[in-house]
Amino acid sequence: MEELTRLSAAEIARGVKAGSFSAREVAEASLAAIDVREGQIQAFLEVSADLALAAADATDAARAKGEELGLLAGVPVGIKDNMHLLGTHTTCASRMLENYESVFTATCVQRLLDQGATPVGKTNMDEFAFGSTTESSAFTTTKNPWDTTRVPGGSSGGSAAAVAAGEVPLTLGSDTGGSIRQPAAFCGVVGMKPTYGSVSRYGVVAFGSSLDQVGPLARSVEDVALCMRALTCAGRDPLDSTSQEVGVDFTAEVKRPVEGMKVGVIDALMEHEGLTDEVIEGLAHAREALEDQGVQFVTVDLPNIASAIAAYYVIGPSEAFSNLARFDGVRFGYQEPNCATLAEQTALSRAHGFGAEAKRRQMLGAYLLAAGVYDKYYYPAQQVRTLITADYRHAYEFCDAIMLPAAPSVSWRFGEVSDPTQMYASDLFTISNNIAGNGGISVPVGFGSASKMPVAAQLQGPAFADSSLLRLAAALERGIEGAGLFKSNAIATDNSRGGER
Amino acid sequence: MTLTEDDVRGIADYARIALTDEELKEMCAYMNEAIELLEPIRQYDLTGVAPTFHPIGDLSNVMAPDLTNANGRSLDLDDALKNAASSRGRAFRVPSILGEEGGDR
């Protein structure tokens, strides 16, 4: 059983189709792994064993009848808890939605189910996706599987940790300012934020509507490409007005050679004062690996990237304030009892339902959208977005992708960064991509020499060129010595316990 | 410009988030720090630069025929009320909005 949890999503789908093992066996192995490891890792907020086994049985029954199986036949998947799945709660890791039962299934989740995936549960996150460590979850603290005294990153920390710990081979996360790429980097897995519009957000609880995008986390680039194919092959989703036709078979693209491709580097970013030596070394290593395969490196510049944090912390909180206004305690969510007036009920429900960071972001957004303030920050931030987007467009005239860190350092220890604005500054390398709406992928490239924690490189690309990113990411994975390490399970302790089951 | 606690209290009223006195103090410190982080936005001369409100420029709205349950996705009554803390019959239940005489608490 243990062996099944070491397989990739692609290997599982192939094995289930070939009859080497059943979807039920794979589901049971995943649930058993969760049972053993959750005590340490706490990646999941809810384990949907019944749904998982029913889905797996349906896959096995379809095979028995000779039906064609989907791309993700029998693949156990974890779903970030801001995505609706009928039969589960969707809490956004908030007291506000502690008892919320999904009444429909998000398109992104449905598409995985349509391809035969086995939904094993909902993963932990920063409350309403506000954060970089998953520490702001109202319910539990997810640990980094490589070192449980360290954070898994965030906000999709549960999705990253579940994959790194070998509980599931594949999860969905959402990325508004780096929330897939940064936890993937911290946990030594591959995480992709596709181009804005690639994946439907219908049924995903909104944070920043002009920034949010759903994407996969997995232990290999091949699995990320497979999941991207599953998410997009049914075409655009009419239920999300931002959804676009992608029309690319990502699984074929990853296999193409990269010789002659050009990758840009930004010297000013690599000299950033907060960047650690471990990350600089990791990026140098990644560059060599790609150069060995015929990739040419060029220097490019994004002159306005230094303002990306400021633009993001205007646009993100403003959109969050608008989106989270729906939580008034009436139709759903926490409701303060015994209030005399509706106004009092609303203010107290929001005060007691939301955690500290959710309140901070909304307060900031409320201020920034106020009359008189709007013209000082919100409108200019959208103009700066134009400049940042143009910077990228100009840079991509000279290269196919840009390589940069996913985070300034490896994962830090719990409580090490507690000041909110200091935490915001750590988003520097990921957020400009959300502002421009482009795709990005985080790929493990080694371990820090001092920390022994995973280090990642991030590749960013032009809008709707995600297949080029996957090609380069696959080349990086092939070229890094010992990359296979990231495909084995992070925790050593389960080896001693494996015999008991 | 620095926000005072009174300013922050006003914003909290507008945002419908009740804050205790202690929280108000912390929130005030946070907001002033956060606004400082936004300063680079104000250093630009943005004359003639068009805003980008959205990464995809030419979006059209999603329209459905004006019919009951046109797309087959309407929630049935039980589902619609299932997550409400307080409901009665076919409705969400809320405290009085018209003062003591207006409600039925």
**A419 and A289 Cβ atoms separated by less than 8 Å:** no
How close, in Å, is residue A307 to chain B by CA atoms? 6
Residue A332 predicted with pLDDT over 50: yes
pLDDT band at A442 (very low <50, low <70, confident <90, very high): very high
- Asked if B59 lies within 8 A of A437 by C-beta distance, the reply is no
pLDDT of residue A417: 86
- Asked if B51 lies within 8 A of A333 by C-beta distance, the reply is no
Residue A184 predicted with pLDDT over 60: yes
Beta-ladder partners of A405: A457
Residue A431 predicted with pLDDT over 70: yes
- To test the contact with chain B by mutation, choose from A193, A244, A330, A378 the residue with the greatest count of B C-beta atoms within 10 A, namely A330
Residue B47 predicted with pLDDT over 60: yes
Helix (H) or strand (E) holding A191: strand A190-193
pLDDT of residue B67: 85
Beta-ladder partners of A76: A118
Closest residue in B to A328 (Cα–Cα): B16
- Asked if A363 lies within 8 A of B17 by C-beta distance, the reply is yes
- Fill in the amino acid letter for A434: N
Catalytic one of A136, A179, A243, A318? A179
Catalytic one of A8, A22, A80, A136? A80
Residue A491 predicted with pLDDT over 60: no
- Asked if A421 lies within 8 A of B27 by C-beta distance, the reply is no
pLDDT of residue B56: 85
Which is it for the CA torsion A339, A342, A343, A345, positive or negative? positive
Chain A residues touching B40 at Cβ < 8 A: 306-307, 309-310
Rounded distance between C-alpha atoms, residue A211 and residue A153, angstroms: 19
Residue B59 predicted with pLDDT over 90: no
For A463, phi then psi, to 5°, come to -60, 135
B3/A contact by beta carbon, under 8 A: yes
Residue A86 predicted with pLDDT over 50: yes
B52/A contact by beta carbon, under 8 A: yes
Q: What is the mean pLDDT of chain A?
A: 94
Rounded distance between C-alpha atoms, residue B86 and residue B77, angstroms: 14
Mean pLDDT on A157-169: 97
Residue B62 predicted with pLDDT over 80: no
Q: Which residues of A335-353 are buried (b: 16+ CB within 10 A; e: fewer)?
A: bbeebebbeebbbbbbbbb
pLDDT band at A498 (very low <50, low <70, confident <90, very high): very low
Residue A4 predicted with pLDDT over 80: yes
Closest residue in B to A90 (Cα–Cα): B83
Share of chain A above pLDDT 90, in %: 90
**A442 and A303 Cβ atoms separated by less than 8 Å:** no
DSSP A89: B
Tokens representing A192 are 């992709």
Q: Please give the interface size between A and B, counted as residue pairs whose CB atoms are below 8 Å apart.
A: 174
Considering only CB atoms, A197 lies closest to which of B51, B56, B97, namely B56
Residue A487 predicted with pLDDT over 60: no
Residue A126 predicted with pLDDT over 50: yes
pLDDT of residue B99: 61
Residue A486 predicted with pLDDT over 80: no
Instruction: Give catalytic status of residue A156 as yes or no.
Output: no
User: What's the full length of chain B, in residues?
Assistant: 105
Long-range CB pairs of B78-82 (<8 Å, 24+ gap) are: B79/A103, B80/A103, B80/A331, B82/A101, B82/A103
Closest residue in B to A348 (Cα–Cα): B18
pLDDT band at A310 (very low <50, low <70, confident <90, very high): very high
B51/A contact by beta carbon, under 8 A: yes
pLDDT of residue B102: 47
pLDDT of residue A419: 87
Mean pLDDT on A58-87: 98
pLDDT band at A167 (very low <50, low <70, confident <90, very high): very high
Helix (H) or strand (E) holding A456: strand A454-461
Considering only CB atoms, A364 lies closest to which of B31, B39, B105, namely B31
Chain A residues touching B18 at Cβ < 8 A: 347-348, 350-351
Q: Is A18 helix (H, G, I), strand (E, B) or coil?
A: helix
Mean pLDDT on A171-198: 97
Mean pLDDT on A319-346: 96
pLDDT of residue A485: 53
Domain locations along chain B: 5-43
pLDDT of residue A198: 97
Domain locations along chain A: 2-300+391-486
Considering only CB atoms, B85 lies closest to which of A310, A329, A364, namely A329
Residue B15 predicted with pLDDT over 80: yes
At A221-243, the pLDDT tens digits run 999 999 999 999 999 998 998 99
pLDDT of residue A482: 59
- Asked if A330 lies within 8 A of B30 by C-beta distance, the reply is no
Instruction: Give catalytic status of residue A179 as yes or no.
Output: yes
Chain B window 5-24: which residues touch A at a Cβ cutoff of 8 Å?
A: 8, 11-19, 23
- Asked if B85 lies within 8 A of A335 by C-beta distance, the reply is yes
Considering only CB atoms, A359 lies closest to which of B17, B41, B96, namely B17
Q: Which CATH architecture has domain A2-300+391-486?
A: Alpha-Beta Complex (3.90)
Chain A residues touching B87 at Cβ < 8 A: none
Residue A492 predicted with pLDDT over 50: no
Catalytic one of A30, A155, A156, A468? A155
pLDDT band at A501 (very low <50, low <70, confident <90, very high): very low
pLDDT of residue A1: 63
pLDDT of residue A423: 86
For A457, phi then psi, to 5°, come to -110, 145
Tell me whether strands A262-265 and B91-92 are parallel, antiparallel or unpaired. unpaired
- Asked if B95 lies within 8 A of A335 by C-beta distance, the reply is no
Instruction: Give catalytic status of residue A80 as yes or no.
Output: yes
pLDDT of residue B94: 93
**A109 and A79 Cβ atoms separated by less than 8 Å:** yes
Helix (H) or strand (E) holding A441: strand A439-447
| Model confidence, pTM | 0.95
pLDDT of residue B105: 41
Beta-ladder partners of A173: A215
Chain B residues touching A360 at Cβ < 8 A: 27, 30-31, 34
Task: Cis check for the bond before A155: say yes or no (omega within 30 of 0).
Answer: yes
Share of chain A above pLDDT 70, in %: 95
pLDDT band at A495 (very low <50, low <70, confident <90, very high): very low
- To test the contact with chain B by mutation, choose from A327, A342, A352, A363 the residue with the greatest count of B C-beta atoms within 10 A, namely A363
Tell me whether strands A118-123 and A76-80 are parallel, antiparallel or unpaired. parallel
pLDDT of residue B64: 75
- Asked if B82 lies within 8 A of A103 by C-beta distance, the reply is yes
Closest residue in B to A320 (Cα–Cα): B15
ipTM over 0.85: yes
B77/A contact by beta carbon, under 8 A: no
Mean pLDDT on A442-462: 96
Q: At what angle do helices A356-368 and B5-14 cross, to 10 degrees?
A: 90
Mean pLDDT on A93-116: 98
Chain B residues touching A316 at Cβ < 8 A: none
pLDDT band at B73 (very low <50, low <70, confident <90, very high): confident
How close, in Å, is residue A71 to chain B by CA atoms? 26
Residue A134 predicted with pLDDT over 70: yes
